[in-house]
Structure 1
């Protein structure tokens, strides 16, 4: 990969610093209020709040310490959270939070997703109802226009991010701007035998991802789809297998075109045409350039892999302060097959822009365009 500084959170006022200093404390407070956790769990959450904002990184004290040691914990234990690489410290925060609430057990709270109430509330929101009802108008459009509308629905659905809303001043509602658009290159890679989609968030973002997948399967643009999700709750809204099932059930229980899509997705899962995968590396604090061989082989078996969302983009290209004009193909050259990124911009990492676009964005918005969620990109490396 090109040499560029790894992002850390030690600069007050930076996006990364704001996540650790403001978003994470807000999340701890929200989790405390979402469940009637007992005194031990509440004390552990309070200890995490203090450590993450004022203290240093400590070992988990569990069997998972060995895995995290392999993922770089030996280099980070004893350092301020703000001095560790941002991707690493952010990921480790969520692992410690799960430990605090007893997710990994043993005990009665084992396997209870601390973010589930937020995910379900979003899935059952009036906004979701409105978006699903809009599907009934889609068949009025030519087939190619339907496909493009669903691709952009998946792209802009990435704004439905619970973690982003914890620190944003307001959810962006105006039509956004594509700062890079490889849409035609994307469609040129289809039809294909196998599509892999690396999912990002659950709820209102996962719904349009599933609708795009259904369309591609239903109309023969792909024969088989693989949905890569997280092995356990990760960040506040990242999708797990349970979240996929919740989303498909939401579609099946809807009306009109949404219900038809849900029924087709359910059938595709039972027939093996839509498969769910959850590899432990999905929750690693590392870029995909360091993926293990067995995961590399899974991606190599796909004709096209789509990385959805901001976190997956950071892991696909590397969480570094690249010059924005760094070619997307250059930083993804390691990936073992054609790859596409669908992402709304909610962090500092960006590659693949032309110089005129970068200059125009900087002149209009300073650095805010990188993190506001008001802009998006479709990037492809065939």
Structure 2
């Protein structure tokens, strides 16, 4: 969470500094920080709209130190409490005001995004297969998307060229599931807004424009989660950023806007996406949605942990084994930022362990894993 250990900037202080909140919000944020640092996990107030839901999810954890509860649960509950502290769910003037919006907007309007959008012009004239690979890698690398947009850039360099940057690559299987001319429905579960969501949208445009999907459903968070997770408002902001751009980026934005109007691109959300639960426990309505999709693509590190189980598996445990419960074909796009990983070949694992000290968490390696 970046507060207790201060390994990264504390979201509480970031949010406090980014908005002219009043005394009530400042006191609530200070109390939350003190609780995390010195106290025990407190339940939501009985009047809170989701009190019963979190009581069920957290009954084993309330009254314990924040340091002693499962990390996945603590992360989710922390951001729920942060929203409560700033009045996001209340009836006052800060109702539904995204406390992370300034950070998302700064990234979306930054020079890096402008360069990446301009780089799309060069891709417009390359063969479709080559362009598809570049866009797939752009979506994979997320906030390092410029490495994927440029066909000539390839993958980011690491110290040992013998160690693959893509530790697992099932992209060929993905394209086999989505041949051109198919009537497929693809579900994409988004991760971050800004520099990650834009390449996701560009990839979605490619799937639709080249007949790899007849329909795409983009799933986003129902409320602010972590600092940069995407919501519907972030999708709209990203589409506007594309449309305002010149060249190929603007044309992509225009196609996506029309696709939403026509229903071939749909944005949806579900409370489960902010739940501290693994996908194995997804509710029946969401399970039916995934069962109805030809392929569900889960983006990012947190979705990966929820997909395979947030525990330290042996890295060679098969990805198909850990995702056997998923109702239909599933793919994971993920840069490695936590210790959880499955589906590696023993030779790849040996090379990584010999050559790269922090390969699991440094963000310098990535994977595309698919279970047909």
Q: TM-score if structure 2 supplies the norm length?
A: 0.92
In 1, the alpha carbon distance for the partners of 2:369 and 2:132 equals 17
- Name the residue aligned to 2:255: 264
Q: Aligned-pair distance for 1:52?
A: 1.4
- Name the residue aligned to 1:227: 218
- Name the residue aligned to 2:364: 374
Aligned length: 352
Aligned-partner SS, 1:302: coil
Aligned-partner SS, 2:366: strand
- Name the residue aligned to 1:247: 238
After the TM superposition, which residues 330-341 of structure 1 pair with which residues of structure 2 at under 5 Å, given as runs?
330-341=321-332
- Name the residue aligned to 1:56: 40
User: Residue 202 and residue 129 in structure 1: after superposition, are their counterparts in 2 closer, same or farther (change >3 A)?
Assistant: same
In 1, the alpha carbon distance for the partners of 2:6 and 2:306 equals 23
Q: Aligned-pair distance for 1:47?
A: 1.1
Higher normalized contact order (CA 8 Å, seq sep 6+, divided by chain length): 1
User: Residue 146 and residue 25 in structure 1: after superposition, are their counterparts in 2 closer, same or farther (change >3 A)?
Assistant: closer
The C-alpha deviation readout for 1:88-120, integer Å capped at 9, x for no partner, is 001100000000000001100000000000000
In structure 1, runs of 5+ residues without a counterpart are 1-15, 161-172
- Name the residue aligned to 2:187: 196
CA contact under 8 A between 2:138 and 2:144: conserved in structure 1? no
In 2, the alpha carbon distance for the partners of 1:257 and 1:320 equals 42
Q: Which among 74, 90, 100 is matched to residue 115 of structure 1? A: 100
Aligned-partner SS, 2:313: coil
Would you say 1:35 and 2:19 are equivalent positions? yes
In 2, the alpha carbon distance for the partners of 1:132 and 1:218 equals 18
After the TM superposition, which residues 346-365 of structure 1 pair with which residues of structure 2 at under 5 Å, given as runs?
346-365=337-356
The C-alpha deviation readout for 1:349-375, integer Å capped at 9, x for no partner, is 101111121122122233x11111000
Would you say 1:97 and 2:82 are equivalent positions? yes
Q: TM-score if structure 1 supplies the norm length?
A: 0.90
- Name the residue aligned to 1:180: 168
CA contact under 8 A between 1:158 and 1:343: conserved in structure 2? no
In 2, the alpha carbon distance for the partners of 1:305 and 1:131 equals 26
In structure 2, runs of 5+ residues without a counterpart are 146-154, 159-164
Q: Aligned-pair distance for 1:298?
A: 0.4
Moved more, 207-216 or 75-84: 75-84
CA contact under 8 A between 1:180 and 1:377: conserved in structure 2? yes
The C-alpha deviation readout for 1:284-307, integer Å capped at 9, x for no partner, is 000000000000000000000000
Aligned-partner SS, 2:6: helix
CA contact under 8 A between 2:3 and 2:10: conserved in structure 1? no
Q: Which among 129, 132, 142 is matched to residue 157 of structure 1? A: 142
Q: Which among 205, 210, 229 is matched to residue 201 of structure 2? A: 210
CA contact under 8 A between 2:3 and 2:11: conserved in structure 1? no
- Name the residue aligned to 2:287: 296
Q: Which among 61, 66, 77 is matched to residue 52 of structure 2? A: 66
RMSD over aligned Cα, in angstroms?
A: 1.5
In 1, the alpha carbon distance for the partners of 2:257 and 2:308 equals 33
CA contact under 8 A between 2:3 and 2:33: conserved in structure 1? no
CA contact under 8 A between 1:159 and 1:373: conserved in structure 2? no
In 2, the alpha carbon distance for the partners of 1:156 and 1:34 equals 27
The C-alpha deviation readout for 1:309-337, integer Å capped at 9, x for no partner, is 11111111111110111100000000000
In 2, the alpha carbon distance for the partners of 1:105 and 1:23 equals 31
The C-alpha deviation readout for 1:178-213, integer Å capped at 9, x for no partner, is 010111111110134200000000000000000000
- Name the residue aligned to 1:8: none
Would you say 1:343 and 2:329 are equivalent positions? no
Aligned-partner SS, 1:195: strand
Would you say 1:141 and 2:126 are equivalent positions? yes
